[in-house]
Amino acid sequence: MKVKVSHEVPLQLLSQSEEFNDYDYCLPHLLDQFPTYEAYFREAKKKGRYIIMDNSLHELGEAYDTSRLLHWVSELEPNEFIVPDVWENAAISVRNARTWASVELPEGVNKVAVVQGKSYTDFATSYQSYKWFGYKKIAFSYGASWFQECFQHPNPYVAKMMGRLKTINNLYKNNIISDFDKVHLLGCNLPQEFLYYKDFKFIESIDTSNPVMHGLKGIRYSEGGLLHKDKEKIDENFTRKITPKQIEDILYNTRMFRKINNL
């Protein structure tokens, strides 16, 4: 299976992003703020581009307003919609997923649930619960504190990168994740992480703004990736004017991202 990759970009690069993105990753709160963003996604839908719509938890600290999420899912009919979850709270995320499992969405919109928690048990029980609820695709975020706890390393970015990998590998070894599952990886701590998933058949898609955010800072990937991470979020830089040099650095990083990870 070819892993689909998408890098979120500032407003200025939306159209150009089609040159390096396999699909479009939509942040719904931005649809209500920027008519140009809305227009892009309406056109992307007309052109038949594959669209995954997030719930904006990472950007806002909590999932976007339910009524607005339902509005935009109805309007854009994305191929996938990530149902609302709660950061590091397994119980409420599972409860939300159970509720959303029965919410009627437009035909062709596939629901995705995000595993949250603070322990391996949380991740295992949540993943199993989502499958029982009927979810055909499940996502893992990149920033859970558990990942750093389960893989000790002096560099916290390496720890979280390897901690997510270790958690997913253990779920696979314990037959909780199967080769026939579909998994989405939300973001990353370090761009080279995805190389280590190449033998997992169940990884279907990735989204990360990492190549873009570091390009905006003038930071180019090395052949081995990075050992640090810029903490700014894409929506905090959404309307900034981008220079030709920054565009050059962003495009370089998007190419290097695929090279490093053999994608």
The predicted structure's pLDDT at residue 74: 98
Beta strands in the chain (DSSP E): 4-6, 24-26, 51-53, 80-82, 110-115, 137-140, 183-186, 203-207
Question: Residue 25 carries which DSSP code?
Answer: E
Tokens 């920027």 locate to 34
The predicted structure's pLDDT at residue 231: 86
The predicted structure's pLDDT at residue 124: 98
The predicted structure's pLDDT at residue 58: 95
The predicted structure's pLDDT at residue 38: 98
- Regions of the chain where pLDDT drops below 50: none
Q: Tell me the CA end-to-end span of the chain in Å, nearest whole number.
A: 11
pLDDT in tens, 145-204: 999 999 999 999 999 999 999 999 999 999 999 999 999 999 999 999 999 999 999 999
The predicted structure's pLDDT at residue 248: 98
